[in-house]
Amino acid sequence: MPKLIKNGRVIDDAAEILVLDEVQGPEALNLPDGPVFVPLAVWQAHKGALSGRAGLGVWLDSSESVDDLEGDLDSIGAIALNFPKFTDGRAYSSAALLRSRYAYTGEIRAIGDVLRDQFFFMQRCGFDAIQPKAGKYSDAQLEEALASLKDFSTPYQAAIDQPEPLFRRAQRAA
């Protein structure tokens, strides 16, 4: 079963990520039975039918805006943010916005070109689930990669995981 990192541990995960193509456009609603992340377009086309469905998540590409989910967030159990390339950093802002401005408390999952050297930043921006591409890391490598979550023990600036900056958290001597 595919693995992912959830709250700092490697776990099995069965969720499918539905990708649209020429055959499957957003109009049709052919969903697998188990947990699934549907693209934003599918969510928008079928909100009524999908709301509250068990195991339903929505995924956004890096060019899509989390602002479009405002008002829907209570009925979405999990949101996945895609990194088309790991150097495309838009999803960091998306995650941070979901957690801060929109006070979203469901799962936020990093998907796509997700590499261990960015785990630390992802976690800081509010991703609680991190899913490298299938086959990117062996099970053993993924366990090893957990270490990257702890690359830095005391960051300077406020972020989602640590909402106070160092200068408010610690008494620093001059």
Partner 1 sequence: MYRYDPYDQKIVDERVAQFRDQTRRYLAGELTDDEFRPLRLQNGLYIQRHAPMLRVAVPYGLLSSTQVRKLAHIARTHDKGYAHITTRQNVQFNWPELKVVPEILAELAQVQMHAIQTSGACIRNITSDPFAGVAGDEYIDPRPWCEVLRQWSTFHPEFAFLPRKFKIAVNGADQDRAVIQCHDIGLELKRNAAGEIGFRVLVGGGMGRTPIIGEEINDFVPWQHIITYNEAILRVYNRYGRRDNLYKARIKILVKALGVAEFKRQVEEEWAFGKDGANTLTEAEVARVAAHFTTPAYEALPGEDAGYASQRAANTAFAAWTRRNVLAHKVPGYAIVVLSLKNPATAPGDITAEQLDLVAEWADAYSFGEVRATHEQNLVLADVKQADLFALWEKARATGLATPTFGLLTDIICCPGGDFCALANAKSIPIANAIQARFDDLDYLYDIGDIELNISGCMNSCGHHHVGHIGILGVDKNGEEWYQVSLGGAQGNHTSIGKVIGRSFAAAEMPDVISKIIDVYRAQRQDGERFIDTVRRTGLDPFKLGVYGEAAIIERKQHA
Q: Does 158 bind partner 1 (CB under 8 A)?
A: yes
Residue 170 near partner 1 by CB under 8 A: yes
Q: How far is the CB of 45 from partner 1 (least distance, A)?
A: 24
H or E segment to which residue 40 belongs: helix 40-50
Q: Based on the shown chain and the rule CB under 8 A, indicate whether residue 168 belongs to the binding site for partner 1.
A: yes
Instruction: Select 45 or 115, whichever has its Cβ closest to partner 1.
Output: 115
Name residue 44's amino acid. Q
DSSP character string of 72-107: TGGG-SEEEEEESSTT-THHHHHHHHHHTTT---SE
Site string for partner 1, 49-88 (x = CB under 8 A): ----------------x--------------------xxx
How many residues line the site for partner 1 (CB under 8 A)?
40
Nearer to partner 1, 38 or 90 (CB): 90
The answer to whether residue 154 forms part of the interface with partner 1 (CB under 8 A) is yes
For residues 82 and 91, the answer to whether their CB atoms sit within 8 Å is yes
- The neighbour count for residue 42, using CB atoms within 10 Å, is 24
**Interaction between residue 173 and partner 1 (CB under 8 A):** yes
Q: Which is nearer to partner 1, 23 or 174 (CB)?
A: 174
Cβ 37 to partner 1, closest distance in Å? 21
| Residue 14 or 170 having the CB closest to partner 1 | 170
Start-to-end Cα distance in the chain: 52
- Encoded tokens for 29: 């609603």
Q: For the range 6-10, what are the long-range contacts, defined as Cβ-Cβ under 8 Å and sequence gap of 24 or more?
A: 6/107, 6/128, 6/129, 6/130, 7/128, 7/129, 8/146, 8/149, 9/146, 10/139, 10/142, 10/143, 10/146
Beta bridge partners of 88: none
Residue 121 interacts with partner 1 (CB under 8 A): yes or no = yes
Q: Which residues bind partner 1 (CB under 8 A)?
A: 65, 86-90, 92-94, 96, 100-101, 115, 117-118, 120-122, 124-125, 141, 151-159, 163-168, 170, 172-174
